[in-house]
Amino acid sequence: MENGDLVLINYIGKNKDGEIFDLTVEERAKEEDIYSSDAQYEPIPVLVGKNYVIEGLEEQIKEMEVGEEVEIDIPKEKAYGKRNTDNIETYPEKEFKNQGVTPNPGEELMIGNRRGRVISNNSGRVRIDFNHPLAGQDLNYWVEVVEKVEEDEEKAEKILDFKLGHGEIEFEDNKATIIHEHEDEEHSHTLPGQFKEDLRNDIVENTKFEEVEFKE
């Protein structure tokens, strides 16, 4: 595979203890008793060269053909990196109380635009770990390249699906129009400018479409 190729992959990811932390295979999820009716079990799109997956996994995908499957070990340096103590921060508990939030250890919270896990709440101080939950771990992946997407329309649809998870896309000549509808007024929001730019670039650089418009 080369940069710009879009492939659909199945995978099973295991942490350093051999426990599955993520997978796309429904049958395996049921076998391991980790099936969730809320999860989507289907191959995910990977636009090669665009960091849709961790570095070690993308390197492996580049060496694979459609229909091939392999199992690989990925060192932490090519997964989610080493744990960084600078990513553990302390906040006054009163900041959370003022917002009606009780920061319980083990829970995940959004602080600004960062997601962190509460590791302690003692003496009026709350410590939050912003490291990725898998930082500092060597990982194991089974991966299968299911399909290489060739049609530009389908590539654009898969890029939108990966980036946004919902929305519609319409095509006319060399133009793609992304329709982002709000579910309800309470959760209404527009897409951030940088997000739109990244999505636009992924489509323009890797398909025949020269223009991407957003309708919200």
- Find the CATH number of the domain harbouring 116: 2.40.10.330
Question: Within this chain, do residues 24 and 34 fall inside the same structural domain, yes or no?
Answer: yes
The structure tokens listed for 49 are 């060269």
The residue among 129, 162, 192 that closes a domain is 129
| Cα 171 to Cα 7, 149, 166, 208, distances in angstroms | 21, 17, 17, 11
Of the chain, the percentage scoring pLDDT greater than 70 comes to: 96
Question: Within this chain, do residues 145 and 155 fall inside the same structural domain, yes or no?
Answer: no
Q: Identify the band that residue 173 occupies on the pLDDT scale cut at 50, 70 and 90.
A: very high
DSSP secondary structure letter of residue 32:
T
At 196, which amino acid appears?
Answer: K
Question: Within this chain, do residues 8 and 61 fall inside the same structural domain, yes or no?
Answer: yes
CATH number of residue 44's parent domain: 3.10.50.40
Q: Tell me how far apart the alpha carbons of residues 149 and 138 are, in angstroms, rounded to a whole number.
A: 30
Q: What is the pLDDT of residue 189?
A: 62
Question: Within this chain, do residues 49 and 143 fall inside the same structural domain, yes or no?
Answer: yes
Torsion from C-alpha of 97, 103, 104, 106, nearest 10 degrees: 180
Q: Which domain holds residue 96?
A: 85-129
Q: Which residue has the higher pLDDT, 101 or 146?
A: 146
DSSP secondary structure letter of residue 191:
P
Question: Within this chain, do residues 65 and 21 fall inside the same structural domain, yes or no?
Answer: yes
Number of compact structural domains in the chain: 3
Question: Within this chain, do residues 124 and 208 fall inside the same structural domain, yes or no?
Answer: no
| Cα 33 to Cα 26, 37, 73, 158, 205, distances in angstroms | 11, 12, 24, 29, 41
Query: Any idea how long the chain is?
Result: 216
**For 48-102, how does the pLDDT look when each residue is reduced to its tens digit (9 = 90+)?**
999 999 999 999 999 999 999 999 999 999 999 999 999 999 999 999 988 888 9
Question: Within this chain, do residues 98 and 174 fall inside the same structural domain, yes or no?
Answer: no
Q: Identify the band that residue 190 occupies on the pLDDT scale cut at 50, 70 and 90.
A: confident
Q: Is residue 184 scored above 70 in pLDDT?
A: no
Question: Within this chain, do residues 14 and 106 fall inside the same structural domain, yes or no?
Answer: no
Predicted model pTM: 0.84
Q: Identify the band that residue 166 occupies on the pLDDT scale cut at 50, 70 and 90.
A: confident
**Average pLDDT rounded to a whole number, residues 120-143:** 95
Question: Within this chain, do residues 145 and 74 fall inside the same structural domain, yes or no?
Answer: yes
Q: What is the pLDDT of residue 216?
A: 78
Q: Is residue 187 scored above 50 in pLDDT?
A: no
